[in-house]
Structure 1
Amino acid sequence: MADRLRDDVGALLREAAAEIVVPMFRRLDDADISEKAPGELVTVADRRAEAFISDRLRRLRPGSVVVGEEAVAENRGLLRHLRGAGDVWLVDPVDGTANFAAGRRPFALMVALLTDGEPAASWVYDPLDGTLATGRADAGTWLDGAPVRTTRALPELGALRGTAMTRFLPPDTRRIVESGGARLGELLPGQHCAGREYLDMLTGAQQFVLFWRTLPWDHAPGTLLVRAAGGVARRFDGTDYHPADDGRGLLVAATEEIWDEVRSALLGG
């Protein structure tokens, strides 16, 4: 990813947030919110931002394909592109829609670029605090324009702080995770916004995050950022995460050692 593309996509997310998403925050009425699936909300901001972002991304990379969260809700066949040749954009126009619809923070705008089926670059933007993370798979991660590493100034393993999103875990796994949290420093309940969880790993506010559901637009951007900054992102069985995989369970950690420690504490082995 050349600096020009990194800057162009970052500017695009800022523009979409300023022109579409933020002006609607806490200004939605009932007609602006609907369910695209049971328990899955979508707002007019999601749809308008996705259309805006998708159009501009296609202009940045002519011939590229866009796989947006809201477009996939209408046509799941788009997911086949995640293993395809060429450039494919993954777009989450408002990550944390339930928060956004309820007038709560955080929420984020996220984009990932896959090239020939492999994650190549990503962007995560929190428009309320202005934090923008960008990353390239072979060149590192930047937080508000400055290089960042997940491996800096880490706490002792027994004082780790991180999130376990337990809502969708199978009951037996949830009990194991919740009881295992006592072996770590602090187990947080989650912010219902994957983008913010990944940003908090980059800032050092937490050292790990555990998810059950792993929709590609939720995790392709953040896992690339963490990996490019020195961290790891793997399924519970230790296999590397790929956004095209149709699986469950994801543990992301600041270092290999932390991944092993948290895996042992929260998943029992």
Structure 2
Amino acid sequence: MSLDILSLAHILRDAARAEALPRFRRLDDGMVQTKSEAIDLVTEADTATEQVIRERVEVALPEALFVGEESVAADPGLLPKLAEADLAVVVDPIDGTANYAAGLPLFATMAALVKGGETVAGIIYDPMGDDWFIAEKGSGAWLRRPDGEAIRLHVAEPLPLEQMVGMASVAYMPADKRPEILANTDKLRLLSNYRCAGHEYRTFVSGHGQFVSYNKLMPWDHLAGALMTQEAGGYVRRMDGSEYQPHHTGGGLLATVDEASWQMLRREVFTF
């Protein structure tokens, strides 16, 4: 493998700055399309940003399977190949597309390296703040800036349930259980949703909250953040308690500051 994590980080930055930022708040109606539903959008910037990343990754790492969100939208048969790939690069060109399309500055460009069925590195780049959250397996999670500054990231300290602050995606909760789960969140201090997993993970692994939770698991949304959670000292499992793996697309996900918090939240709040 000849593509190091910082080189991949700069590929994400270059693509976002070349394709996503110039189009931000400059999209006309013809540049935005609906995919599966009204909250599932794709823009001209998504496809252009992914194309730049793909072209550069294929030059630097030709042996890797490239799994991009928009590539899978065009060819759904690509996603199952991730489970068998020796090496893969998984990319979300613009995470938080609905925010991006609405002109809200809360979106991210993300990538993960998967080797032998295991996530070994992850990157969440913030085009507006121009910095990366980066994790490599066994090396911690770091905030890195283009000038070379690096700050190690740590999850927050545990808190009692009634003082917990967290983020959860409501849209994909099981419809029959959603009222119960939302009622359960009254036990918490605060529940938020940014409509951008990248920024939710960034908030969590930098110590600003006790959990994040999701039900729909597409690899480009969660591989980088799940690895960062572990490398920042947190605990992440699917809702049945099993380890989250790159090929999983369902089963829910709960990331917390420690195992005891995971057990408490699973029992008291996320009861589906």
Kindly tell me the number of residue pairs found equivalent between the two proteins.
Answer: 266
2:53 maps to a residue whose letter is I
2:136 aligns with 136
Point out 4+ residue stretches in structure 1 off by more than 4 angstroms: none
1:147 aligns with 152
2:140 maps to a residue whose letter is G
1:101 aligns with 101
Give the conservation status (yes or no) of the 8 Å contact 1:143–1:202: no
Mapped to 1, the partners of 2:76 and 2:175 lie a distance apart of 28
1:12 aligns with 11
2:151 maps to a residue whose letter is A
77-86 or 63-72: which moved more? 77-86
1:182 aligns with 186
What stretches of structure 2 of length at least 5 have no aligned partner? Answer: 145-149
1:167 aligns with 171
2:81 match: secondary structure: helix
Give the conservation status (yes or no) of the 8 Å contact 2:216–2:249: no
Give the conservation status (yes or no) of the 8 Å contact 2:157–2:257: no
What is the TM-score of this pair, normalised by structure 1?
0.92
1:15 match: secondary structure: helix
Counterparts of residues 181-200 of structure 1 (less than 5 Å)? 181-188=185-192, 190-200=193-203
Mapped to 2, the partners of 1:83 and 1:171 lie a distance apart of 29
Give the conservation status (yes or no) of the 8 Å contact 1:233–1:252: yes
Aligned: 1:63 with 2:63 = yes
1:7 maps to a residue whose letter is L
Deviation for aligned residue 1:127: 1.1
Mapped to 2, the partners of 1:38 and 1:175 lie a distance apart of 22
1:146 maps to a residue whose letter is I
Mapped to 2, the partners of 1:148 and 1:246 lie a distance apart of 27
2:168 maps to a residue whose letter is A
113-122 or 79-88: which moved more? 79-88
Deviation for aligned residue 1:209: 1.0
- Deviations along 1:209-259, one digit per CA (max 9) or x if unpaired, are 111211111111111111122212211111111131232321111211221
Mapped to 2, the partners of 1:255 and 1:130 lie a distance apart of 30
Deviation for aligned residue 1:10: 1.4
Mapped to 2, the partners of 1:245 and 1:165 lie a distance apart of 17
Mapped to 2, the partners of 1:85 and 1:42 lie a distance apart of 27
1:111 match: secondary structure: strand
Give the conservation status (yes or no) of the 8 Å contact 1:94–1:110: yes
1:123 match: secondary structure: strand
Give the conservation status (yes or no) of the 8 Å contact 2:217–2:252: yes
- Deviations along 1:155-186, one digit per CA (max 9) or x if unpaired, are 44431100121122123321222121122221
Give the conservation status (yes or no) of the 8 Å contact 2:181–2:270: yes
2:147 aligns with none
Deviation for aligned residue 1:203: 1.7
2:4 match: secondary structure: helix
Query: How many percent identity over aligned positions?
Result: 36
What stretches of structure 1 of length at least 5 have no aligned partner? Answer: none
1:134 match: secondary structure: strand
Aligned: 1:48 with 2:51 = no
Mapped to 1, the partners of 2:190 and 2:131 lie a distance apart of 24
2:221 aligns with 218
Sort the Cα spacing of 1:130 and 1:254 in 2 relative to 1 into closer, same or farther, 3 A.
farther
8-17 or 79-88: which moved more? 79-88
1:183 maps to a residue whose letter is K
1:72 aligns with 72
Mapped to 2, the partners of 1:236 and 1:25 lie a distance apart of 36
Give the conservation status (yes or no) of the 8 Å contact 2:66–2:89: yes
1:148 maps to a residue whose letter is L
